[in-house]
Amino acid sequence: MINQYPLWKYLLLLAVLVFGAIFSLPNLYGEDPSVLIALRNQNIDQPTQDRIKELLKQSDISYKSFDTSNGNVLVRFDSTETQLSAKDTISLFPFIKKNSNYTVALNLAPATPAWLQSLGAAPMYLGLDLRGGVHFLMEVDMDSAIKRLHNVLMSDMRSHLRNEKIRYLGITGNTDGINIKFRDAENMSKGLVALKREFRDIDYNEDDDNLLITATLTEVAIRNEKRSAIQQNVTTLRNRVNELGVAEPVIQQQGDSRIVVQLPGVQDTARAKEILGATATLEFRLTQGSYAEWQDAEQTGRVPLNAKLYHERNGDPVLLKRRVIVTGDQINNAASTIDSQTGSPAVSVTLDSKGAKKMGETTRENLKKPMAVVFIENKIETKEVDGKAIKVRTRTEEVINIATIQGQFSKNFQITGLGSAEARDLALLLRAGALRAPVEIVEERTVGPSLGKDNIEQGFNSVMIGFALVLIFMAVYYRVFGLIANVALTANLIIIMAVLSLIQATLTLPGIAGIVLTVGMAVDANVLIFERIREELRIGNSPQASIHAGFAKAFSTIADANVTTLIAAVVLFSFGTGPIKGFAITLSIGILTSMFTAIMGTRALVNLAYGGRNVKTLSI
């Protein structure tokens, strides 16, 4: 008999439908406003959890539930107002306020029942346009990246020439290149050979008359440095966002010099801007000369060649050696703490292997000598001058600490001389890593939670209205076959939700538009099949033969139409960014699921209704 399916096909359809129902269910439960409390590299123990509960009770803050997961604490609340109040209160708890290893962040936790969570079911993520939050477009200062590379090269060249025991008078740099002045032609010749062997992505020009070598970066070196700068900045910004405790952030490169940062759910935009845009780092240098020499250099302006004049926070001058011992790039970890001897705020620092080796050698060779910590911060601000927007770059360099080296140390040590809030922020920035080059926020857009709620409602209504109109049309125009198509269409929508939830896709407004388009395309396949069946009936074929011919002859047309649309969706995903990708993902998934439900699902229901029966007419 034609128009009959084997049992395994019905079981497959049933399994897919059950799968779709289970994994789409979490989207119906919504999310709870929550506060996440995490302790860096540690689990929050039970006494601390009890302490937090007691303090919340004393503050008269009621919570929905108090959960622990992966060593963190997640406190759920009934309203956003209670959530914000609880976050401010928890942040002021003394034991949390004094320890920078604690992270207290706002969160939206899925309200999915435990039995669904045990199956691995979770709701879709909501994008910035649905949840609310902040969008930053940041531009990387590539000129500063090249200047930094010049400074690193100059320091490395000095060290290399000293190690090779080649005498030189001085190394200076500017935007045109690096100038190395030698004492005589013999040392200049040796220096050129040594530099070419060690530093290869550089062009060298010799001035024999002035015993001068000018080193300039090649185009390849400049291009590589710019690429590295933006890649490192993306990594650093991602680390900083993780420190802020933001869920589902988007940090991605845009073009050659810009970075897009989207932080769904963030409400404290000022704090986010301060942390993301900060380029604070540290340098450790030995002091040069005595206090009297520092005062003399300040008054006369005469600074020794191997030294550089800095100032402490109180304005006092200090001469530091040009050679940098360790920089912020070599810091693996940092935490705000309290100095056990003085009781003042401090930052506990852990260096990587290279930095630890250099610090160990320096402290061993310079016992009882002072060493300074230089705090460096780069900023880019846009100011309006004579009606024109002008970028102003500022660089702050100040000595925050001078201490005498009492004994050899290498990997672990402390920095003092900071305020409590400053120590906390500096520890966060050092943990996340230093930006390779300063960044400027050139565009900022804030989406409020109320707008996100309106977007969700409007998007949901658009899907439901379009869906309902299609169901009504199909039921009226195609009768029983229309009702069968409606069942398949409903199953299709459920399976789309399940797949998006399973892959943890981020749903945005363009994604909802893709779902609406898919609803129309899904029913289009049924229309092609049903019209073909009606055509077969009109030319006199039997109902069973018409059903068989309708599905068989419409298949190639449906396949061609959907494959070409799928190719377009893949191209959109490959070359598009952000919202375009969201639209392409939902459209691609919708095409695949609609072909499955329209061809196999509809056919199965038609076979159940009419297959194996001697029918004279079809309700179509």
Looking at residue 319, its pLDDT comes to 92
- Ranked by mean pLDDT, which of 30-34, 367-371, 393-397 comes out on top? 367-371
Looking at residue 318, its pLDDT comes to 92
**Alpha-carbon gap, residue 181 to 202, rounded angstroms:** 17
> How big is the chain by its Cα radius of gyration, in Å?
33
By DSSP bridging, strand 72-76 and strand 31-39 are antiparallel
Identify the band that residue 49 occupies on the pLDDT scale cut at 50, 70 and 90.
confident
- Domain 142-221, classified CATH 2.60.40, yes or no: no
* pTM score: 0.58
Burial class from Cβ neighbours inside 10 Å (0-12, 13-18, 19+) for residue 351 reads: buried
Q: At 514, is the secondary structure helix, strand, or coil? A: helix
**Alpha-carbon gap, residue 165 to 208, rounded angstroms:** 21
Looking at residue 218, its pLDDT comes to 86
End-to-end CA distance of the chain: 21
Distances (CA, A) of 177 to 151, 166, 200, 447: 10, 21, 15, 46
Assigned token pair, 392? 């102003």
Assigned token pair, 302? 């005469």
CB 204 within 8 A of CB 213: yes
Out of 138-147, 239-248, 591-600, least confident range: 239-248
Assigned token pair, 606? 């038609």
Mean pLDDT throughout 223-231?
86
**Alpha-carbon gap, residue 273 to 93, rounded angstroms:** 25
Amino acid at 307: A
Identify the band that residue 524 occupies on the pLDDT scale cut at 50, 70 and 90.
confident
Q: Output the CATH code of domain 31-110.
A: 3.30.70.260
pLDDT of residue 597 exceeding 70: yes
According to CATH, the topology of domain 7-26+450-610 is: Multidrug efflux transporter AcrB transmembrane fold (1.20.1640)
* Domain ranges (residues) in the chain: 7-26+450-610, 31-110, 142-221, 279-419
Assigned token pair, 407? 């004994």
pLDDT tens, 422-440? 677 677 667 666 677 778 7
Same fold: 7-26+450-610 with 31-110? no
**Alpha-carbon gap, residue 564 to 573, rounded angstroms:** 14
CB 425 within 8 A of CB 374: no
Looking at residue 383, its pLDDT comes to 65
Identify the band that residue 155 occupies on the pLDDT scale cut at 50, 70 and 90.
confident
**Alpha-carbon gap, residue 298 to 318, rounded angstroms:** 8
According to CATH, the topology of domain 279-419 is: Gyrase A; domain 2 (3.30.1360)
Mean pLDDT throughout 503-508?
77
Assigned token pair, 535? 């055509």
Q: What is the dihedral of CA 56, 59, 63, 67, to 10 degrees?
A: -10
